Structure 1
């Protein structure tokens, strides 16, 4: 009789044993965010004959099962396949360029069985796996390994950039910087890596009532850029190994001068007017209220209209009357702000912070460097997308077309996020096992 009573308990424990060490808080929070995101998408399309909200939930359900499946497979197996993963990532990006589907001025999708698949989204997972495999034994404490990691990343990054998909290429940059930092790269080196981008911006900014500084023939630089380049020369002298004759400082200075000049050249001769407007409109959206600034103006009005507690689900006037373009994708956070107010926005951000803290915890408690780097790569991807998406929604960042993880509509992005979650859960699941009692 006692044996019969214990059997159901033993069977139940045997069934859940493959997921014994899974971080269930980390798993359940993205699922809850996905469900809430579907409600927000439904609110934006309540008066339209579309079913994106239903597809959002369906893909989230598929992603949930994929994540559970990946969580019970040992993540160490990815080490044996990382070069194949890298090759397939690049081949998929090349296939987009050769036979992809174009939309909104970019060729980013491949049609598979009637569905548009975006390989650049899945390429994020590919680069995380590849970099984790490269850095888990050879850390980024030497410049040789840093350059090796950058060279490996440059191929898929370049293919994504040529689509063109500037937003995803920026996510690649965030992933690489986060993983290099976790792999013991000198912070000064990371500052020098992003310094040319900063130079490209600062070299085009002149102080009020001042003239640009002429260093060489036809080379005009803003004073802020000059100050920045000399600051980076100091960073280079302090962190780079080639100090003899000041080569490290001179190299860092030249790097920023060249980066700044290339940025000025691209701004004046490469970028089209609509691209310039998209990058700068967040500073003054009223400059073009019916064009480039329209999305941002409507988004800020919707968020402001929500005040403290919001209008309530399905009751936001800006959302229900479709005043915010692309609200179900890039601007889904504005629907949260209008219908749930400032409090609702804080709750959503708090949930994302919990997700990020749990990802960091998995990285800190992983049993090896490979697992730790996988978790940090996913954390870098989520944090960057969260900051940029919320920032562009409220007018603090350029409109870059980066979705809000698990909330914005996008089937490829949703599956990518759940695959990443499943890999991290595998890292958590195969940590040091606790003794299991039946």
Structure 2
């Protein structure tokens, strides 16, 4: 048996300055037990929050099947390959998992130093989308075509950049012990950091991303402990901004009609309200247990537009029924609950802010997506996190999971690496 020789620390005999040689007796410890201790205490995989990672993986797996079901009959758009979207979705998921792993290993504390770079790159991406490099989809010039059938939506990276940059500003003097809560100057500059990309996104215009970012900012401010007057000011500015958007015509006629269709379901059911009408019909036809995966009539006939992206929840409703849809909602609830616990148990304010921002982002975007499928929220062009087809969204949400895992692994000294 391989043995490891370990010496106990020497002690000194009272009244003399000499070591007690009897305490220097060798102690033999089996190498296997030491290896087991290293695995138990230091292996990063054992520090993962599996109740956070598990739901995200299951949602991504279910999303892959729903995307496959929604696109398997679109051979004319995929060069004859019925699995084109499914394969691309799996590739996006694989890249997202790699990004999550890299973010978790590097750690939110190290990434903190690069937060301004992330925000600047994201804003430059927004300007690139508005330039001739960008392309217009559903009335919003929010995409950059990068060739080979791939495109990038910079607004997804902006969500991460705002969380990191606001967290860095708001927590700087609190984590060093100088202040008990962020000062007014820090809150002001944090709001400026969020306002700049929001203004650019309004020019696209992409109201869905603006709403998500607004929720992120609110959650970040609440988690930071900022004074209540800043929240009041934020709501006042949001109201004034909404009036300005309508008054100065920053929204396209198509987007205005979307809000009209939400307020009045009978408004243009064959036009701008068609998506919501067909999505609700598909969900309603699913009943309790659904028509079966790959057997949905609405889904198979491609009657619901964008059913692999914005309206993927209608595929779940039709083919998996109320039970399957409830399971998806339950998985989101579990993931968000774990995210909230991670935010509450973080060792530093920066970790708390990052976790709260990610949770607010996931919660609002999931609610908005499922709500617009059910007709209880306006159509805003937001994908369902982890489920919908789309590379930019998949990369961003998995990097968000990586940040949550980083905060979890490093609380209370759970992970020895910074």
User: What range is the shorter-chain TM-score in?
Assistant: 0.7 to 0.9
Tell me the equivalent position of 1:109. 143
How far off is 1:297 after superposition? 0.4
Aligned CA distance change for structure 1 residues 142 and 337 (closer, same or farther; 3 Å): same
Tell me the equivalent position of 1:125. 160
Match of 2:47 among 14, 21, 24: 21
Tell me the equivalent position of 1:6. 32
Q: 1:359 & 1:260 partners in 2: Cα distance? A: 30
Would you say the 8 A contact 1:178–1:376 is kept in 2? Answer: yes
Tell me the equivalent position of 1:36. 62
Q: 1:143 & 1:11 partners in 2: Cα distance? A: 47
Q: 2:414 & 2:101 partners in 1: Cα distance? A: 20
How far off is 1:16 after superposition? 7.1
Q: 2:99 & 2:206 partners in 1: Cα distance? A: 27
Would you say the 8 A contact 2:42–2:415 is kept in 1? Answer: no
Q: 2:303 & 2:172 partners in 1: Cα distance? A: 52
Q: 2:243 & 2:263 partners in 1: Cα distance? A: 23
Aligned CA distance change for structure 1 residues 265 and 350 (closer, same or farther; 3 Å): same
How far off is 1:351 after superposition? 0.4
Tell me whether 98-107 or 23-32 shows the greater mean CA deviation. Answer: 98-107
How many aligned positions are there?
A: 375
Match of 1:179 among 201, 220, 223: 220
Would you say the 8 A contact 1:136–1:370 is kept in 2? Answer: yes
Q: In the alignment, is residue 59 of structure 1 matched against residue 92 of structure 2? A: yes
Q: 2:110 & 2:412 partners in 1: Cα distance? A: 17
Q: 2:415 & 2:322 partners in 1: Cα distance? A: 45
Tell me the equivalent position of 1:134. 169
How far off is 1:108 after superposition? 2.0
Q: In the alignment, is residue 367 of structure 1 matched against residue 350 of structure 2? A: no
Q: 1:368 & 1:197 partners in 2: Cα distance? A: 30
Q: 1:73 & 1:271 partners in 2: Cα distance? A: 40
Tell me whether 329-338 or 100-109 shows the greater mean CA deviation. Answer: 100-109
* Counterpart secondary structure, 1:111: strand
Q: 1:415 & 1:196 partners in 2: Cα distance? A: 31
Aligned CA distance change for structure 1 residues 59 and 45 (closer, same or farther; 3 Å): same
Tell me the equivalent position of 1:325. 305
* Counterpart secondary structure, 2:406: helix
Q: 2:165 & 2:374 partners in 1: Cα distance? A: 35
* Counterpart secondary structure, 2:172: coil
Would you say the 8 A contact 2:135–2:145 is kept in 1? Answer: no
Q: 1:81 & 1:144 partners in 2: Cα distance? A: 21
Q: 1:29 & 1:61 partners in 2: Cα distance? A: 16
Q: In the alignment, is residue 432 of structure 1 matched against residue 412 of structure 2? A: yes
Q: 2:147 & 2:156 partners in 1: Cα distance? A: 18
Tell me whether 367-376 or 1-10 shows the greater mean CA deviation. Answer: 1-10
How far off is 1:84 after superposition? 2.2
Q: Which has the larger radius of gyration?
A: 2
How far off is 1:168 after superposition? 1.0
Tell me whether 355-364 or 135-144 shows the greater mean CA deviation. Answer: 135-144
How far off is 1:66 after superposition? 2.0
Aligned CA distance change for structure 1 residues 142 and 430 (closer, same or farther; 3 Å): closer
Unpaired runs of 5+ in structure 2? 4-29, 79-83, 175-180
Aligned CA distance change for structure 1 residues 20 and 73 (closer, same or farther; 3 Å): farther
Match of 1:386 among 333, 357, 366: 366
Deviations 1:115-166 (A, max 9, x none): 2111111111111110110111357765443322211111111122212222
Q: TM-score, normalised by structure 2?
A: 0.82
Q: 1:373 & 1:414 partners in 2: Cα distance? A: 22
Q: In the alignment, is residue 78 of structure 1 matched against residue 111 of structure 2? A: yes
Query: Where has structure 1 moved over 6 Å in runs of 4 or more?
Result: 2-5
Aligned CA distance change for structure 1 residues 340 and 166 (closer, same or farther; 3 Å): same
Would you say the 8 A contact 1:75–1:426 is kept in 2? Answer: yes
Unpaired runs of 5+ in structure 1? 199-257
Match of 1:401 among 358, 361, 381: 381
Q: In the alignment, is residue 190 of structure 1 matched against residue 231 of structure 2? A: yes
Q: In the alignment, is residue 94 of structure 1 matched against residue 120 of structure 2? A: no
Q: TM-score, normalised by structure 1?
A: 0.79
Q: 2:243 & 2:93 partners in 1: Cα distance? A: 45
